[in-house]
Structure 1
Amino acid sequence: MNARPLIDPQLIYLEPEVRQRRRGQDILARFPEARQVEVESHWRIPDLFNDPSSLDAWLRIKRDVLVLGVKKTLTMRPNGRSADFIAPSSSNGCAMACSYCYVPRRKGYANPVSLFVNLDEIADAIRRHALKLGRKGEANSIDPVDWVYDLGENGDLSVDATVSDNVRDLVAAFRSMPNAKGSFATKYVNRDLLGYDPQRRTRIRFSLMPPAMAKLVDVRTSPIGERIAAINDFVAAGYEVHANFSPVIVHENWEAEWKALFREIDDQLSPAARAQFKCEVIMLTHNAGLHEINMGWHPKGEAALWRPDLQEEKISESGMVNLRYRAAWKRQWLGRLRQWLEEAMPYCEVRYAF
């Protein structure tokens, strides 16, 4: 008996304009038996986002509910870490349920996938922006040649691709941009993407952490071993493939677990994968509001994430009060991790770490 897919909507909330868009029509046709409820805005769905009882159905909602809307804001935001710019998202929310994910902090008591059906406008906005920039005049840690646009800041495009052709169209769009690459992080191995012909114009960052910790906090994601095993195939299919070591969660056995992870990756990478392999390293950030949400659906994970004995408050760039590892300890721990990585995979450049 086949398991149900990560997204199998029984209920679709949609903005009225969705019915007029070809992509919206295509998605609705995929799920003819789903009940459809029109809403004024994909952001304002009181029955979904403002209902505390939704916590009891946190995982079910991710599978059974889909939201369709039109992306209104098509501006690029400077980034400087994973990418040069954050592109307008083709989605928001995720069918997976990583308990450290920051997106639920903004939505409230439910976080299903919202897909935007005006992908043509999103791709055109990126194309115009890249054309205006021209060639990248100076190499940086993001990329030595191309402007890089992060495409999946608020979701996971590998999962989105199981529901619509948005991701296929984005990959195709970057094939025709001679000075730009698309980039997104993923925790889901979707082998359909191997047929998208990216021609090295799309970078996939497989998010990786020790398997034992992933089993606790990476809920509904592909197993770490499966993600590692996919790297060579995605490189062979024409993607640039990096690792996103994130989040780094410090606990009593973290050194042995991370060293084992680095050895496993090194053992499996092909020569072609090694030649282009780079990474990002991101230490855990948590939040009191997210902690409260998690205690309602996955309290076990909070034993690793909520560590006031190791954490301190810090104001984020967006003005949010977050919890991060205490600054002096964080510097030491990050230095140790980079040393372990250098010893196991000296060819793996750390593009940035914080």
Structure 2
Amino acid sequence: MKPFVPTRVYFEEIVKEYAQGKELLDKYEKMNIPIIPIKAHHRIEELRKRPNKEFTKMKKYLILGTRKTVRLTPNDKSADFIVPFTSSGCTALCLYCYLVCHFNTNSYLRIFMNRDEMIEKVKKTIKKVGEHKVYELGCNSDMVLENTITGNLKWAIEEFGKLENATATFATKFDAVDDLLDAKHNGHTQMRISINPKEIINKVEFGTSSLKERLTAANKMFEAGYKIGLNIAPIILEKDFEIIYENMFKEVSNYLLPKLKSQLFIEVIFMTYGSANFYINGESMPKAINLLDKSKMRPKGPGKYTYRNEYRRPAEKIIKGYIEKYLPDATISYIV
């Protein structure tokens, strides 16, 4: 994984009041990267007015600010609570990205400096709940990616390592985990590696780590004492999907450590695709494939599409069969 080097940095003035903020600004200034002051990270008028065709260019920008609200949301899938954390957005260009549905072209990486305030909010919730719960970090970002810039994921892992009645969880498409291997996690953190067949990664998940790199990261983290899950997401029902997904499961079975496979938990998520993705991808990446197949998909809320049941149900049965065949000791957490 190549380190992310932004072509521009936008920052709120309050960022200078934080040690991490000053450090990042000094770092990028020494690299002669343009540093541009803004009033608010979520209202950068200059970027809001940019046309869709500049989406990939904007993905190379970095925005520094503070998160104004930290509200934990109850969840019944990957975690008991979703935690808005130290970043939002991503540098990758996954064609189905759900953040594009919410932020459109402004789904670039934003990093927030007030991490102490956030972890204190989490600690108060943990104390109030009083029983063991799982807390998802980076629900609208990739914390492994962010950690390569800030070290915030390692810091958060060690904070959770000190807590009782709490497990941190995060999902990632990146393999840059070496910094996390010596973290004092005390068994209080789990990682979910998001995977897809290499054919889909190569033509749909631009700017992410390869399947083999992700599986290598899973093995490393398991050997460092973390609990590991697989996030098979999103499943895309393209032509011959049965073949490419079976080949993926064969590779996963052959590559993961035997002891890891015996404790593995799996999340299965079928693709939801947005009209925002369709228009932005078409204008900014015109040579990329079109994932909106209306012959197989139906509307799912405003501006979103999902697979029709006549395609989804057989595919779900096939995927479950592959899990039973190639990863028989794994448990399926949920299928959506």
TM-score class normalised by the smaller sequence: over 0.9
Q: Which moved more, 1:14-23 or 1:279-288?
A: 14-23
SS at match of 2:42: coil
- 1:243 and 1:118 mapped to 2: Cα distance? 30
Give the equivalent residue in structure 2 for 1:90. Answer: 86
Alpha-carbon spacing, 1:204–1:56, altered in 2? closer, same or farther (3 Å): same
1:6 CA displacement: 4.5
Alignment of 1:227-238 (within 5 A): 227-238=214-225
Establish whether residue 47 from structure 1 lines up as the match of residue 46 from structure 2.
yes
Give the equivalent residue in structure 1 for 2:134. Answer: 148
Give the equivalent residue in structure 2 for 1:345. Answer: 327
Alignment of 1:101-120 (within 5 A): 101-120=97-116
Unaligned runs of 5+ in 1: 137-146
Give the equivalent residue in structure 2 for 1:141. Answer: none
Give the equivalent residue in structure 2 for 1:218. Answer: 205
TM-score norm. by structure 1 comes to 0.90
Establish whether residue 327 from structure 1 lines up as the match of residue 309 from structure 2.
yes
- 2:95 and 2:18 mapped to 1: Cα distance? 34
- 2:288 and 2:307 mapped to 1: Cα distance? 17
Say what the alpha-carbon RMSD is for the aligned residues.
1.6
Render the CA deviation track for 1:134-162: whole Å, top value 9, x for unaligned. 124xxxxxxxxxx1111111111111011
Given that 2:100 and 2:276 are in contact with CA atoms closer than 8 Å, whether structure 1 keeps it comes out as no
Given that 2:276 and 2:303 are in contact with CA atoms closer than 8 Å, whether structure 1 keeps it comes out as no
SS at match of 1:213: helix
Identity of counterpart residues, as a percentage? 29
Give the equivalent residue in structure 2 for 1:185. Answer: 171
Render the CA deviation track for 1:41-68: whole Å, top value 9, x for unaligned. 111011123311xx444334323x2101
Render the CA deviation track for 1:169-209: whole Å, top value 9, x for unaligned. 11111101121111111111012222323232111111101
Give the equivalent residue in structure 2 for 1:171. Answer: 157
Q: Which moved more, 1:28-37 or 1:181-190?
A: 28-37
Given that 1:209 and 1:245 are in contact with CA atoms closer than 8 Å, whether structure 2 keeps it comes out as yes
Render the CA deviation track for 1:63-120: whole Å, top value 9, x for unaligned. 3x21011111111101111111111221111011111111122223243210000011
- 2:215 and 2:41 mapped to 1: Cα distance? 35
Which of 87, 96, 99 matches 1:100?
Answer: 96
Given that 1:6 and 1:95 are in contact with CA atoms closer than 8 Å, whether structure 2 keeps it comes out as no
- 2:47 and 2:216 mapped to 1: Cα distance? 37
Give the equivalent residue in structure 2 for 1:13. Answer: 10
Q: In the alignment, residue 173 of structure 1 is paired with which amino acid? A: E
Give the equivalent residue in structure 2 for 1:132. Answer: 128
Given that 1:75 and 1:88 are in contact with CA atoms closer than 8 Å, whether structure 2 keeps it comes out as yes
Give the equivalent residue in structure 2 for 1:139. Answer: none
Which of 238, 247, 250 matches 1:263?
Answer: 250
SS at match of 2:59: helix
Q: In the alignment, residue 137 of structure 2 is paired with which amino acid? A: L
Give the equivalent residue in structure 1 for 2:27. Answer: 30
- 1:340 and 1:295 mapped to 2: Cα distance? 33
1:297 CA displacement: 2.1
Given that 2:77 and 2:334 are in contact with CA atoms closer than 8 Å, whether structure 1 keeps it comes out as yes
- 2:236 and 2:143 mapped to 1: Cα distance? 24
Q: In the alignment, residue 49 of structure 1 is paired with which amino acid? A: R
- 2:271 and 2:207 mapped to 1: Cα distance? 19
- 1:163 and 1:59 mapped to 2: Cα distance? 20
Q: In the alignment, residue 312 of structure 1 is paired with which amino acid? A: R
Unaligned runs of 5+ in 2: none
TM-score norm. by structure 2 comes to 0.94
Q: In the alignment, residue 83 of structure 1 is paired with which amino acid? A: A
- 2:66 and 2:128 mapped to 1: Cα distance? 25
Q: In the alignment, residue 287 of structure 1 is paired with which amino acid? A: G
Q: In the alignment, residue 322 of structure 2 is paired with which amino acid? A: W
- 1:283 and 1:340 mapped to 2: Cα distance? 15
Q: In the alignment, residue 344 of structure 1 is paired with which amino acid? A: Y
Which of 45, 53, 58 matches 1:61?
Answer: 58
Q: In the alignment, residue 306 of structure 2 is paired with which amino acid? A: R
Render the CA deviation track for 1:291-340: whole Å, top value 9, x for unaligned. 1011112244443x11000000022xxxx431000123212211221112
Render the CA deviation track for 1:200-225: whole Å, top value 9, x for unaligned. 21111111011011101010101111
Q: In the alignment, residue 174 of structure 1 is paired with which amino acid? A: F
- 1:307 and 1:95 mapped to 2: Cα distance? 26
Given that 2:154 and 2:179 are in contact with CA atoms closer than 8 Å, whether structure 1 keeps it comes out as no
Q: Which moved more, 1:240-249 or 1:30-39?
A: 30-39
SS at match of 1:31: helix
